[in-house]
């Protein structure tokens, strides 16, 4: 039911592959909002290394993790039981999620012009001391670079899938606002209406989740049925987020999904959340409106959108009274 798209020919530049891949993306994101990507060129070594780094970080004693709590830019460590998507319109999320996570955004040098503005989400990452976790920072930055390179190469197909010029999205993703989440789901018992991650849709443009062999992710179909994400080794589960949903006037679906707590084992996840530059104006695309189909939402900057969403769901102050 969830389409599988092989990118081998597309990434090789095979004639006709751009149009074919665009049609497949259009079908998947307008029909269910999710797809599985194979044939990508993100090295398997990097993916495995990033899973290993997620486990290594979450294996640290709590006293060490609490020295790296979320900063004002929402980078760093978030303890379990202090978060859910409280703004979800697909479920009454009244209990915190059963996962802990560590967030990394684009690494900006102190003299980077965006960082020097002092704007939220442009500030420093929080890194464990290299003596505590040697190689962690360099490994994560290597993965982030690979993911940025890969997703940039996919943007032309997303543009064409919306009947736009292949280069339409590219300028909006120069110094894009991506985010990597290193998540840990322990095998714990959930209360009623409690989840590893409660039902929600993503706020960003598109999400790329490297698949692992520990199940958990479920997707809600348009008829309300929850289905398991099919596991294909070495693939990415990909979905459109609310930003792309708004940009396309609802044409591409931002589909609700959830994660169940694992049974008898630990689950780690390394979703890469792709989003445009903070200054990007999210307004109805010209190919997604017409007679009888007016724009559904007022234009908004990505900065204003993600600031509202983050303030409602990821308040760093909720981490302040956690004891080791």
Domains of the chain and CATH, by start: 4-319 (2.60.120.330)
CB atoms within 10 A of CB 261: 19
Predicted local confidence at residue 301, as pLDDT: 98
Per-chain mean pLDDT for the chain? 94
Tell whether the model's pLDDT for residue 90 goes beyond 90: no
Q: What is the pLDDT of residues 19-75, one digit of tens each?
A: 999 999 999 999 999 999 999 999 999 999 999 999 999 999 999 999 999 999 999
First to last CA, the chain: 44
Q: Which residue matches tokens 């322990």?
A: 186
How far is 263 from 275, CA to CA, in rounded Å?
33
Tell whether the model's pLDDT for residue 97 goes beyond 70: yes
Query: Rounded to the nearest 5°, which phi and psi values hold at 293?
Result: -140, 70
Q: In what order do the strands lie in the sheet containing 217-220?
A: 197-200, 257-259, 217-220, 226-228
Predicted local confidence at residue 16, as pLDDT: 98
Any bridge partners for residue 157, and if so which? none
Helix (H) or strand (E) holding 239: strand 236-240
* Structural tokens at position 99: 């996962």
Res. 84 pLDDT band, cuts 50 70 90: confident
The closest alpha carbon to 91, from 250, 249, 246, 226, belongs to: 226
How far is 252 from 31, CA to CA, in rounded Å?
8
Q: Which residue matches tokens 């792309």?
A: 244
DSSP labels, 276-301:
--TT-EE---GGG-BTTB--SS--EE
* Structural tokens at position 159: 């543009």
Mean pLDDT score, 305-315: 88
How far is 65 from 78, CA to CA, in rounded Å?
9
4-6/34-38 β-pairing: parallel
Q: What is the pLDDT of residues 188-213, one digit of tens each?
A: 999 999 999 999 999 999 999 999 99
Mean pLDDT score, 5-11: 98
CB atoms within 10 A of CB 167: 10
Predicted local confidence at residue 85, as pLDDT: 80
Tell whether the model's pLDDT for residue 237 goes beyond 70: yes
The closest alpha carbon to 144, from 58, 267, 272, 241, belongs to: 272
Q: Of the ranges 7-21, 81-95, 151-165, which one carries the lowest mean pLDDT score?
A: 81-95
Tell whether the model's pLDDT for residue 323 goes beyond 90: no
Q: Which residue matches tokens 């090789």?
A: 12
């Amino acid at each position: 039911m969830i389409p599988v798209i092989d990118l081998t020919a597309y990434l090789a530049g095979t004639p006709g592959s751009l149009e074919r891949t665009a049609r497949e993306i259009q079908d998947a994101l307008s029909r269910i909002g999710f797809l599985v990507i194979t044939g990508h060129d993100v090295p398997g070594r990097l993916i495995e290394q990033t899973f290993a780094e997620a486990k290594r970080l979450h294996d640290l004693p709590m006293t060490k993790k609490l020295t790296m709590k979320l900063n004002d830019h929402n980078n760093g460590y978030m303890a379990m039981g202090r978060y859910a998507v409280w703004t979800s319109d697909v479920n009454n999320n009244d209990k915190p999620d059963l996962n802990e996570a560590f967030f990394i955004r684009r690494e900006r040098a102190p003299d980077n012009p965006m960082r020097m503005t002092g704007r939220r989400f442009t500030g420093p990452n929080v890194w464990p001391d290299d003596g505590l976790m040697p190689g962690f920072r360099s490994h994560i930055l290597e993965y982030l670079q690979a993911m940025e390179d890969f997703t940039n190469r996919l943007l032309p197909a997303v543009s064409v899938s919306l009947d736009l010029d292949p280069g339409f999205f590219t300028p909006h993703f120069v110094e894009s606002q991506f985010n990597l989440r290193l998540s840990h789901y322990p095998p714990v018992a959930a209360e009623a209406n409690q989840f590893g991650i409660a039902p929600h849709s993503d706020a960003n443009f598109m999400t790329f989740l490297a698949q692992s062999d520990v199940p958990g992710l479920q997707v809600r179909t348009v008829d309300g049925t929850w289905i398991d994400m099919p596991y294909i080794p070495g693939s990415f589960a990909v979905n459109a987020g609310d930003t792309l949903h708004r940009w396309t006037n609802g044409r591409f679906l931002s589909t609700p999904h959830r994660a169940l707590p694992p049974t008898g084992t630990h689950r780690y996840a390394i979703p890469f959340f792709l989003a445009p530059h903070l200054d990007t104006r999210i307004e109805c695309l010209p190919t997604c409106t017409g007679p009888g189909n007016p724009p559904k939402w007022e234009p908004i900057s990505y900065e204003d959108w993600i600031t509202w969403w983050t303030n409602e769901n990821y308040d760093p102050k909720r981490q302040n009274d956690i004891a080791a």
